Structure 1
Amino acid sequence: MRLIVHLSDLHFGRVDHSLVDPLIEAVWEVRPDLVAVSGDLTQRARTAQFIEARRFLDALPKPQIVVPGNHDVPLYNPLARFFLPLVKYRRYISENVEPFYGDDQIAVVGVNTARSLTIKNGRVNQRQLGCIRERLRDYSDAVTKIVVTHHPFDLPEGYREGSLVGRARIAMEALASCGIDMFLAGHLHVSHSGHTGERYRIAGYKALVISAGTALSVRRRKENNAFNVLRIDHPKVGLERYTWQSENARFVPSAAEYFEHRPDGWMRMTDKADELSRQI
C-alpha cells in the first residue's frame, strides 16, 4: 500500500499562519510515502512568498511532487510574466516544473498547466502529453498511474467548463490509452471527487478525478481549509479528507470515500465501504 498526502493552493502571502504548524504536524502523523502539491504555492509570485513556501516544503516529508499554479506566475510584472514566468518558482521551489516519482506500486507525473497568456486558466499541450505517455508506458496495469496538475480535469456541480484545464478532452483521449488511474488537482479551493466517465465518455475507461481544497489560504470557498490523504492498494483506493477544526486547533479526518477498479474503470463503492475501509 502507498499513502499520498495531497495538498493544494497554499497561497503564501494570503495564508492563515495559525494553520501552518498544525498542517505540518498532521502531514507527518499520516507518514506518507509521497507528498503531492498541486500548485498555487504563492499569492502573487513574489520573492518573500516563494521563500515562505520553500521553508514550508522543507518542513514536510519527502519525496515530493510539486507543480506550479497560475498564481505562481507574476501578474503585475508584464516582462517577467511573458518572458520569465516561472523564474522565481525555479529558483526557490524547483528547477523541474514537471517532476516524476515511480516505484513498484505508484507512478506519479507532475504537469505544469500554468501559462503566461491567461490570468486564471491553464492548459496542457501535445509535448506534455507525449512526455506523460513516455514516462508511464513501461509500467504495468498493477501500478497506479497518477497525474498531478493545478487546473482540474473535472468539476463539482455548478462550475462552468471554462474552469477545466485547457484541451482537457484532447488530453483525456490521449491519456486513456496509457491507463491513467487518477488525476489530482486544485485551483477551485473546493474538495471534489468523481470519475471521468460522465464528462468524457471514453469506452471502457473511467479514471478518478480528485481535487483538494485550499490547505492554508484565507481565500476559502464555503469550506474549511483541508487536504486529502489517499491510501492506494491497487485495485482499491481510499480517499480521506482532513479538515481544519478550529475548536481543537488541528486538522482532523472529516470524510472518507472508497473506490475500486472494475473492468470498465474506477467506481465509487458505496455498498462495500465498510469492507473496503478494513482492507485499505
Structure 2
Amino acid sequence: MLIAHLSDPHLCPPGALYQSVLDPAPRFARALAQASSFRPDLLILSGDLTEHGDAASYAHARDLLAALPCPVLAIPGNHDDREAFRAGLSGLPNLVPLPATGPLHAIAEGVVRVIGLDVTVPGDHRGQVTPDHAAWLDATLRSAPDTPTLLVMHQPPFVTGIGYVDAYRCFGDTLLAQVLSDHPQVIRLLAGHVHRFTLTSFAGRPALTAPATATSLALRLAPGAKPASFTEPPAMLLHLWRDGGLVSHLQAVGKFPGPHPFF
C-alpha cells in the first residue's frame, strides 16, 4: 500500500497571491500530478488547504482534487474554516467521508488504517487534544486493534525547536500520549503545519511533519528568532507499506536533471 502525503497548500481565491508572494495553486497542482504518478492508494492532506477559509478557494481545491484517481483523506488546519471546509469538499466523489457536524475527523480503512484527527481550535492557530478527542480516538482505535494505523493531525504535538511555530503546536500532548499507550497498532504519527519535514518520536513511535506545497518555513533555531519563509521547491511524503513494515520517503516536487545512469 502506498500513501501520498501533502500538506499546507494555502490555496487562495483565483488571482490572489499567498502572503503577496506567490500563487500557491500551480505548486499544489504540480504536487498532485507528481503524487498521482506514483499511483498511490490514498492521498492525505494534513490541513491548511486554504489560506482564508473562503468558498472560492475550496471550490478551486475541489476542482484540483476531483481529477485524482485515488481516495483523499483531508483534515482542516488553522487557516481553514471548518464549516466552509465541510461544505466546500462535500461534493468531492473521492473524498473519505466527513462527519455532518462537529470536528472533521476522518477514517480511511485498508491494509493500513489512516485516522485523521481534527485538533484545530477555531479562531486560533494552535491545536488542542481535549477529553472528547481522546474518547473518540480511543473508541476508534479499539474498533480495529490489529490493523496497522497512521494517525494524522495538522498541528504536531511535539516541539520542533523553531520557537515561532512551537507556540502554535498541538497541546494536550500528555492526554494524546496516554491514549496511544493503549494502542500499539498506531505505528506512525503524521502532521503538517510546520512547512518543513521534521522527524522525531512521540509516545514511542515515529512522528513526522510533511513539508508544505506553499512556502517553506525558515529553519531558525535560535531562541527569539523572527519568523520567515523561503520559496523553496514544494515537496511531499510517500509512505510505503510492504512486508509488514512502513517506510517514509521525502520527495521534492519538480523536474530536475536526470536520471543519470549511476547509483
Question: So what's the TM-score if we normalise by structure 2?
Answer: 0.77
Alignment map for 1:149-228 (pairs within 5 Å) = 149-159=153-163, 161-179=166-184, 180-196=186-202, 206-215=204-213, 217-218=214-215, 220-221=217-218, 222=230, 223-228=232-237
Partner of 1:232: 241
Cα separation, 1, equivalents of 2:141 and 2:176: 15
Shift of 1:220: 4.8
Q: Write the distance in 2 (CA, Å) between the matches of 1:18 and 1:117.
A: 28
The match for 1:44 is: 52
Contact preservation (8 Å) 1:152, 1:163? no
Q: Which runs of 4+ in 1 moved over 6 A?
A: none
**Cα pair 2:9 2:25 within 8 Å, conserved:** no
SS at match of 1:163: coil
Deviations 1:110-133 (A, max 9, x none): 111121242x11112212222222
- Give the aligned partner of residue 223 of structure 2: none
* Structure-2 separation of matches of 1:177 and 1:162: 28
- What CA distance in whole angstroms lies between the structure 1 residues aligned with 2:243 and 2:170? 27
1:55 is aligned to 2:63: yes
> What CA RMSD, in Å, does the superposition of the two structures yield over aligned residues?
2.4
- 1:155-205 CA-partner distances (Å, limit 9, x unpaired): 434447533312012111122212221111100101112212xxx5xxxxx
Letter in 1 for 2:2: L
Match of 1:114 in 2: 120
CA shift for structure 1 position 26:
0.9
In structure 2, the residue corresponding to 1:136 is in which secondary structure? helix
- Greater per-residue helix proportion: 1
Aligned residue-pair number: 225
Unaligned runs of 5+ in 2: 13-17, 91-97, 219-229
Contact 1:123 1:166 (C-alpha < 8 Å) held by counterparts? yes
Report the alpha carbon displacement of residue 137 of structure 1 after superposing the two structures with TM: 1.3
1:189 counterpart letter in structure 2: H
Distance 2:149 2:163 in 1: 27
Question: Which aligned pairs between 1:1-280 and structure 2 lie closer than 5 A?
Answer: 2-13=1-12, 14=18, 15-73=23-81, 86-94=82-90, 95-96=98-99, 97-103=104-110, 105-118=111-124, 120-141=125-146, 143-159=147-163, 161-179=166-184, 180-196=186-202, 206-215=204-213, 217-218=214-215, 220-221=217-218, 222=230, 223-233=232-242, 235-245=244-254
Please report how far the alpha carbon of residue 90 of structure 1 lies from its aligned counterpart in structure 2 after TM superposition. 1.1
Query: TM-score, normalization: structure 1?
Result: 0.73
